[in-house]
Amino acid sequence: MLENYLPILLFIIIGIGFGVLPLLAGFVLGPRHPDSEKRSAYECGFEPFEDAHMKFDVRYYLVAILFIIFDLEIAFLFPWAIVLDEIGVFGLLAMFLFLGILVVGFIYEWKKGALEWE
């Protein structure tokens, strides 16, 4: 059972290696002579006058929360897809009702203009 996940584990390890090794090589091999001017933030030649932390528009939050809702909907589809041949027409209709109710919400958000980004 668990042996089936060995390729995924190898994939993760090799992926991490691909990401980390070049950074490490640059860190170890590259010449570094830092001073205070090099390390300070550069802002078009004059003194930086603002913190880089700034407030985001609340509309990003709206997009993120709508994404979460449809993400949860997808999470319900996985076990349904696995057992579809066992639960038959009843399961199919149950999922259609589930998706139908969410399509109502989707139409609402579309008509309301929540998906528009000027």
Partner 1 sequence: MESVIFYIFAAILLFAATMVITVRNPVRAALFLVLAFFTSAGIWLMLEAEFLAISLVLVYVGAVLVLFLFVVMMLDIDLAPLKEGFTRYLPLGIIVAALIVVEMIAVLNAPQFDISAAQATDGSNTKMLGRLLYTVYVYPFEIASVILTVAIVAAITLTLREHHRKLQDPAKQVMVKSADRLRMVDLRSKKQDGEGSES
Unique residue bearing structure tokens 């399961």: 91
Based on the shown chain and the rule CB under 8 A, indicate whether residue 17 belongs to the binding site for partner 1: no
Based on the shown chain and the rule CB under 8 A, indicate whether residue 101 belongs to the binding site for partner 1: yes
Q: Beta partners for 43? A: 46
Beta strands in the chain (DSSP E): none
Q: Which two tokens stand for residue 55?
A: 């407030």
Cα(118)–Cα(107) distance, rounded to whole angstroms? 19
First CA to last CA across the chain, in angstroms?
50
Based on the shown chain and the rule CB under 8 A, indicate whether residue 55 belongs to the binding site for partner 1: yes
Instruction: Fill in the per-residue mask, 18 to 47: x = in contact with partner 1 (CB under 8 A), - = not in contact.
Output: ------------------------------
Based on the shown chain and the rule CB under 8 A, indicate whether residue 69 belongs to the binding site for partner 1: yes
Cα(58)–Cα(65) distance, rounded to whole angstroms? 11
Q: State which of residues 29, 33, 56, 89 lies at the interface with partner 1 (CB under 8 A).
A: 56
Residues in contact with partner 1 by the rule CB under 8 A:
1-2, 5, 9, 53-56, 58-62, 64-69, 71-76, 78-80, 82-83, 86-87, 90-91, 94-95, 97-99, 101-102, 104-106, 108-109, 112-114, 116, 118
